[in-house]
Structure 1
Amino acid sequence: MLVNYKERKLTSIPEEILGNKLITNLNLEDNQITYLPVWFTSLTGLKVLYLSNNQISDISLLAKMPSLELIYMNHNKIRKLPEDIGNLKQLRRLYLGHNQLEYLPDSFYELTELRMLILKANKLTSLDDKIGQLKHLVNLDAGKNQLSELPAGIGQCRELKQLKVNRNKLASLPWQMKDLDALEDLNVARNQLTTIGSLPATIKVLHIEGNPVQHADVRVDKLTFDQTQADQVARLGGTHEQVSLEGRIISPAMLEAIARRNEWNERHGLKKEKYPEEDDED
């Protein structure tokens, strides 16, 4: 049973649903709700909960609702997760982007059924090595945090297809990432990486723009980067079916040709040729 209260200008959850065990899908997005009432746990049949774009800071009651499979709580004011969040053994999708999380409790890594985990735009400084216990993760977005490193355990997430850790403070990537043999899309843009080590051959799209990369060992279908990296990228080798310069698609052959001309110009004290800025891609 689906109940929809989206965009109703609610400041609290309507009591008319109290104790309704038939509700499996509840949409409360885009309101002004500030808290979860004590009686909320009486919704024992609830599997899918939409609460994005509200004003909620405390979600401790959700850990007492083991039937939950999907939780959408982007754009709230959550500072911490319940210490017993690991009780949600059926949880498959968890959206916590744009909150105020500074850490993940130990029991978080007991959510072994997670497929989708969105943590972008929080205040996380680290991920525990136990993230390797989340073996069924397919999509992990931890972009726009304050991560200084990725744990070695990330290499145990063998079903991971998309990994976004852009806009953090990463200076290196763990060598264990080469074990991610399902990974297709890796976004490490806007970090502090100088070297991109050996990566899985399965990667099709790699975003490295905004990094001071000097060396990379990459073979991907699509590589995105910025003007300051263009000469280095042209010399990386590998097979790139498509390269994207600051979001603009250009020919790999053109990239290599300009890089060679610039190398000649540099030797003869001439001004470098700028890489093209046309061919916009949506």
Structure 2
Amino acid sequence: EVKRGEGRRGKQRLRVLPSAVLSNPVLESLDLDRNKLKHIAGISKLCNLKKLILSKNEIVDFPDEIQSLVYLEKLELNQNQIRVIPEGVFSHLSRLKHLRLNNNRLCALPRDLAACQGSLQYLNLSNNLFRAFPQPVLQLTSLQELHVQNNALRQLPRELFQGQSLKMFKANGNPLKEPPSEVCAGGIQQILNYFTQLQDCSGQEDKRVKTMFLGASCTSGKSPASVGFFSWLAFKIRLTGQIRKQLLA
């Protein structure tokens, strides 16, 4: 039996969407988690959906019919096998507040995720294959909670922490170098302190590094580019270690 305002899965594990569900356009909430769904054909008929739960299925291809669900506020596709999200879906989901994509095989996000910048408050990207921080996230100015645990991230952008909206950030389980993992474990304020000190110290050292760069290149016979790079690298390693000690003291 399907209720007027809400559809929920039964005990039987579904492989296709039930016709009874697809013929009920008044549905506002549909929970189909823990099934065996691989394809979500016909979901565009449920044009009044506000909440769609498709977690713990066998979905490989992101269901692009979701772009028709213009009233959608909550979308959960976690614990599937999704590798790619096509462009042109999120540009229609300007009311989306909550998005779970964790435990998939994603390594990038579509640029049009930025269309949710005025609405999206929660985003979970943990347990995926991200090696570089997904740039569209930086445009989500309303984001309050972000999870990127257990990816392959080595660096986080300073811009992520310069806005006022982000309240919770989790990044453990990444091989982070900047900021170091120990700093990230201290929370958003600790990360902000790290970037602030890094910027201040970098400014103070600019002249000294430049002098080393020019002087060494004249006396050693080495090219300015190689000397400059190694001088900068040594300074960067030393500076990161100093800031880490200060923040963790």
TM-score of the pair, normalised by structure 2: 0.70
Q: 1:182 aligns with which of 165, 171, 191?
A: 165
Residues 85-100 of structure 1 aligned to structure 2 (within 5 Å): 85-100=66-81
* Residues 168-177 or 112-121, more deviating: 168-177
Q: Deviation digits for residues 92-137 of structure 1, max 9, x if unmatched?
A: 0011111111111212222121100011101111112332211111
Uncovered stretches (5+) of structure 2, i.e. residues with no partner: 181-185, 198-240
Residue matched to 2:144: 161
Residue matched to 2:23: 42
| Residue 138 (structure 1) aligned with residue 121 (structure 2) | yes
* Structure with more helix by fraction: 2
Identity of aligned residues (%): 23
Q: Deviation digits for residues 40-74 of structure 1, max 9, x if unmatched?
A: 32111000011111111111321232111001121
Residue matched to 1:235: 245
The whole-number CA distance in structure 2 between the counterparts of 1:155 and 1:90 is: 24
| Residue 120 (structure 1) aligned with residue 98 (structure 2) | no
Partner SS state of residue 26, structure 1: strand
Uncovered stretches (5+) of structure 1, i.e. residues with no partner: 1-15, 198-203, 220-230, 238-254, 257-282
**Distance change >3 Å, CA 194–CA 86, structure 1 → 2:** same
**Distance change >3 Å, CA 170–CA 27, structure 1 → 2:** same
Q: How many residues align?
A: 198
Partner SS state of residue 153, structure 1: helix
Q: 1:173 aligns with which of 156, 161, 168?
A: 156
**Distance change >3 Å, CA 174–CA 42, structure 1 → 2:** same
**Distance change >3 Å, CA 95–CA 216, structure 1 → 2:** same
After TM superposition, give the deviation of residue 30 of structure 1 in Å.
5.4
Decide which structure has the larger Cα Rg and report it: 2
**Distance change >3 Å, CA 27–CA 168, structure 1 → 2:** same
Q: 1:58 aligns with which of 35, 39, 54?
A: 39
Q: Deviation digits for residues 238-267 of structure 1, max 9, x if unmatched?
A: xxxxxxxxxxxxxxxxx73xxxxxxxxxxx
The whole-number CA distance in structure 2 between the counterparts of 1:29 and 1:234 is: 52
The whole-number CA distance in structure 2 between the counterparts of 1:232 and 1:187 is: 24
The whole-number CA distance in structure 1 between the counterparts of 2:162 and 2:141 is: 7
Residue matched to 1:274: none
What letter corresponds to residue 150 of structure 1 in structure 2?
Answer: F
Partner SS state of residue 123, structure 2: strand
| Residue 108 (structure 1) aligned with residue 89 (structure 2) | yes
TM-score of the pair, normalised by structure 1: 0.62
After TM superposition, give the deviation of residue 29 of structure 1 in Å.
5.8
The whole-number CA distance in structure 2 between the counterparts of 1:29 and 1:96 is: 19
After TM superposition, give the deviation of residue 217 of structure 1 in Å.
3.4
The answer (yes or no) to whether the contact 2:88–2:112 under 8 Å persists in 1 is no
The whole-number CA distance in structure 1 between the counterparts of 2:56 and 2:141 is: 29
The answer (yes or no) to whether the contact 1:50–1:71 under 8 Å persists in 2 is yes
The answer (yes or no) to whether the contact 1:195–1:216 under 8 Å persists in 2 is no
After TM superposition, give the deviation of residue 38 of structure 1 in Å.
4.4
Partner SS state of residue 107, structure 1: coil
The answer (yes or no) to whether the contact 1:31–1:53 under 8 Å persists in 2 is no
The answer (yes or no) to whether the contact 1:149–1:170 under 8 Å persists in 2 is yes
**Distance change >3 Å, CA 164–CA 196, structure 1 → 2:** same
Report runs of 4+ in structure 1 exceeding 4 Å deviation. Answer: 231-234
Q: 1:217 aligns with which of 182, 186, 195?
A: 195
Partner SS state of residue 196, structure 1: coil
* Residues 25-34 or 82-91, more deviating: 25-34
